[in-house]
Structure 1
Amino acid sequence: MPKTPLPLRADDLTTFVRALAQQLGEVSPSHLTLMNMAARAAGYQNVQHMRSAYAAEQRLQRVSKENPSDARTVERALHQFDDMARLKQWPARRNIQTLALWALWATLPANRSLKEQEVNELFNKEHLFSDPATLRRTMISCELLSRRNDGSDYRRIEKEPPADAKALIRALGTRRRMRSEDALEYNDA
């Protein structure tokens, strides 16, 4: 006769282990040993592994409660990039332009001063339509990039990207990693 799984739920491992120790009496192992035994019985390596898995689950639940990204908009923005994660053309729609700028923003070094030429070189690696000036100006107007009035000091403005931008940055990240790996293989050959 097959056994039907019977779920066991305990709101707090410490309380559960204390009650178990009382049941076992004097033959009970130490509190920590018993906690590790219960954690292993639940499929974890030990109680620390159980705690870290729970903490990670809590963090993921907080992230999933954020505003979800609009997959259609992210997909439209992705179509503006080639297989190497370079922006093929300047998008016509403003919301797609802004997402594309966030993707370029993610490639700029954080907390570092750049000269205009350095910004141009970075942007030229990330787009194919040879207009870094438009990208710089638009990023400044969208408050993603700052510069001194004389144009000598450019800095990425650190702020939290919106959900759509995060999704686009993640999707393009895999393409950029492939581009980096291809470049390394080419240099090694």
Structure 2
Amino acid sequence: MPSEPLPLAIPDLSSFARALSHALQAHLATKPEPPSHVETLNLVARALGQRNHQSLRASLRTPAASRQTAEAPAALSDNARKTLTQFDAEGRLVRWPTKYTVQRLAMWILWTRFEAKRPYTEREVNAILKEANAFGDHVTLRRELINHRLLARKADCSEYRKLPARADDEVRALLHAWRQQR
């Protein structure tokens, strides 16, 4: 199958490089070998705010005018704005939110730190969540990700998986704003 050239514009090179660097570090922390070419394409796509390489290709094939309207973020709700303030400049959750709706939205941001279709050990989940919070309670975060049905685990806690959850409009707007900040 011949390769198809894809025109690629990086709106903020600094945030792209930072996101790609974090993704590569996370990959190398779990696997000693460098990522394959497909994994690299997906890492680049995620650094650009897409789910994977296929969604990046699809978005680049869409005419620019329709892409702008399709990607225009919905106005953030008060809870979504409050959720964004719960994270520091390094993307760590600085405190456990008291309001349930803000907690729920914060879980979605933490959910993005996990790869789909990849099994995690409890130790790996703990390491990701320890890095993702500044208040030192990764256990609560792990439990809440499971309670919100964003992660699943085996009964003996030997394996965790990211669940393919369906985000509502508020969550999609929050995640879009989150990616823009990063």
Counterpart of 2:150 in structure 1 is 144
Counterpart of 2:104 in structure 1 is 98
Spell out, residue by residue over 1:27-61, the C-alpha distance to the aligned partner (whole angstroms, 9 max, x if none).
xxxxxxxxxxxxxxxxxxxxxxxx952xx544655
Counterpart of 1:180 in structure 2 is none
- Aligned pair in 2 of structure 1 residues 52, 114: CA closer, same or farther (>3 Å)? closer
Is 1:79 aligned with 2:79? no
Is 1:158 aligned with 2:164? yes
* Structure 2, unpaired ranges of 5+: 1-60
Q: Does the Cα contact within 8 Å between 2:117 and 2:162 map onto a contact in 1?
A: yes
RMSD (CA atoms): 2.3
Query: What is the CA–CA distance in structure 1 between the aligned matches of 2:86 and 2:171, rounded to whole Å?
Result: 14
Greater per-residue helix proportion: 1
Query: What is the CA–CA distance in structure 1 between the aligned matches of 2:161 and 2:145, rounded to whole Å?
Result: 11
Query: What is the CA–CA distance in structure 1 between the aligned matches of 2:118 and 2:159, rounded to whole Å?
Result: 9
| Residue aligned with 1:137, SS | helix
* TM-aligned CA deviation for residue 162 of structure 1: 2.0
Counterpart of 1:172 in structure 2 is 178
* TM-aligned CA deviation for residue 119 of structure 1: 0.2
Counterpart of 1:123 in structure 2 is 129
Query: What is the CA–CA distance in structure 2 between the aligned matches of 1:57 and 1:171, rounded to whole Å?
Result: 20
Deviates more, 1:69-78 or 1:125-134: 69-78
Query: What is the CA–CA distance in structure 2 between the aligned matches of 1:90 and 1:62, rounded to whole Å?
Result: 33
Q: Does the Cα contact within 8 Å between 1:84 and 1:175 map onto a contact in 2?
A: no
* TM-aligned CA deviation for residue 136 of structure 1: 1.1
Query: What is the CA–CA distance in structure 2 between the aligned matches of 1:125 and 1:170, rounded to whole Å?
Result: 22
Q: TM-score, normalised by structure 2?
A: 0.59
Q: Does the Cα contact within 8 Å between 2:92 and 2:132 map onto a contact in 1?
A: yes
The count of aligned residue pairs is 122
* TM-aligned CA deviation for residue 110 of structure 1: 1.1
Name the aligned partner's letter for residue 148 of structure 1: K
Deviates more, 1:124-133 or 1:87-96: 124-133
* Structure 1, unpaired ranges of 5+: 1-50, 177-189
- Which of the pair has more CA radius of gyration? 1
Query: What is the CA–CA distance in structure 2 between the aligned matches of 1:104 and 1:146, rounded to whole Å?
Result: 14
Name the aligned partner's letter for residue 86 of structure 1: R
Counterpart of 1:134 in structure 2 is 140
Query: What is the CA–CA distance in structure 2 between the aligned matches of 1:127 and 1:98, rounded to whole Å?
Result: 15
- Aligned pair in 2 of structure 1 residues 52, 79: CA closer, same or farther (>3 Å)? closer
Percent identity reads 34
Q: Does the Cα contact within 8 Å between 1:101 and 1:139 map onto a contact in 2?
A: yes
